[in-house]
């Protein structure tokens, strides 16, 4: 059985495309759901988050009274949405949360990695270096305290990127779906031993359940693209599309705001905090499972 995202069934694809674009969110505000108590979502709140994710692969939440919280709301909120399979990576604490603040990695050697610095981060999906059977399907964020300046995110639904490629340059898309197109070199530890082996895979793939998954980083280092001309054209075309897409959302998570998503493509602007003042604190949770249908 062919899935909609596998090339070849144009009738099914066109029907999906019409449904996807119908009433697609046109502004960041369309993604926002106000939450009264993240530890006890109402049926309406849960449904609103899931329906937005079903439509655009992402939703934003805004807590009515974040100052009343005595614990990080992300574990309880994501559990209520049906996410169970945590990616407890090295940078995360025992509970699975990563503190995306300068020096916030739970694993000291990662402290200089870019998520734990104030530098800008280009287009990427989380966990693009993970093995094929442990891809990050869901990415969730919660902002406890925003940066003094900067830290905005651009968000882009990977299904719309797929759509634009399929409509304009299907040969590029076919290349980006090949299993050997993108390789992340092995990571070595401080002793020069292999801490994470080399990972090779596609940019776009289809899960066993028929969902579209994206695996991408716009980094020029610590990545190796297949060397043929078709791959070089496809990657450059994808990069240009990411810079010019009319479907991206741009905004900043403020205190009490968060993101629930199917690991959409995203960026982060550089940020800064005063040397003697409070620093940005944003938490990340990654999951190997996807959100259930609305």
pLDDT per position as a tens digit, 60-89:
999 999 998 989 999 999 999 999 999 998
pLDDT grade for 114, boundaries at 50, 70 and 90: confident
What lies within 8 Å, CB to CB, of 275 at 6+ separation is none
**Tell me, what's the pLDDT at 98?**
92
1: pLDDT strictly greater than 70: no
Q: What is the CA radius of gyration of the chain?
A: 19
How many other CB atoms are there within 10 angstroms of residue 233's CB atom?
Answer: 14
Has residue 209 got a pLDDT over 50? Answer: yes
Averaged confidence pLDDT in the chain: 94
Run of H or E residues at 225: strand 224-225
Check if CATH label 3.60.130.10 holds for domain 10-287. Answer: yes
Q: What is the mean pLDDT of residues 267-279?
A: 93
Tell me the per-residue pLDDT of 39-56, one tens digit each, with 9 for 90 and over.
999 999 999 999 999 999
Would you kindly state where each structural domain of the chain is located, as residue ranges? 10-287
Query: What pLDDT was estimated at residue 90?
Result: 77
């Amino acid at each position: 059985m062919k899935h909609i995202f596998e090339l070849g069934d144009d009738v099914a694809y066109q029907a999906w495309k019409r449904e996807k674009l119908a009433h697609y969110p046109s502004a960041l505000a369309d993604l926002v759901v106000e939450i009264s108590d993240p530890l006890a979502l109402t049926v309406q709140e849960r449904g609103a988050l899931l329906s937005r994710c079903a439509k655009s692969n992402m939703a934003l939440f805004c807590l009515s009274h974040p100052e009343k919280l005595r614990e990080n709301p992300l574990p309880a909120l994501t559990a209520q949405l049906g996410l169970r399979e945590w990616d407890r990576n090295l940078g995360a604490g025992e509970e699975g949360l990563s503190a995306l603040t300068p020096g916030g990695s739970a694993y000291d050697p990662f402290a200089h990695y870019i998520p734990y610095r104030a530098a800008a981060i280009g287009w990427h999906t989380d966990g693009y270096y993970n093995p094929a059977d442990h891809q990050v399907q869901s990415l969730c964020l919660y902002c406890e305290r925003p940066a003094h300046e900067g830290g905005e995110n651009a968000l882009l639904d990977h299904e719309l990127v797929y759509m634009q490629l399929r409509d304009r340059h299907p040969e590029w898309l076919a290349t980006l779906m090949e299993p050997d197109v993108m390789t992340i070199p092995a990571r070595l530890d401080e002793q020069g031993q292999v801490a994470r082996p080399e990972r090779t895979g596609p940019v776009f793939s289809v899960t066993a359940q028929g969902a579209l998954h994206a695996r991408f980083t716009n980094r020029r280092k610590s990545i190796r693209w297949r060397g043929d001309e078709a791959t070089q054209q496809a990657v450059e075309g994808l990069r240009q599309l990411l810079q010019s897409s009319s479907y991206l959302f741009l905004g900043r998570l403020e205190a009490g705001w968060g993101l629930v998503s199917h690991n959409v493509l995203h960026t982060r602007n550089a940020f800064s905090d005063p040397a003697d003042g409070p620093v940005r604190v944003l938490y990340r949770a990654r999951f190997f499972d996807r959100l259930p249908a609305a």
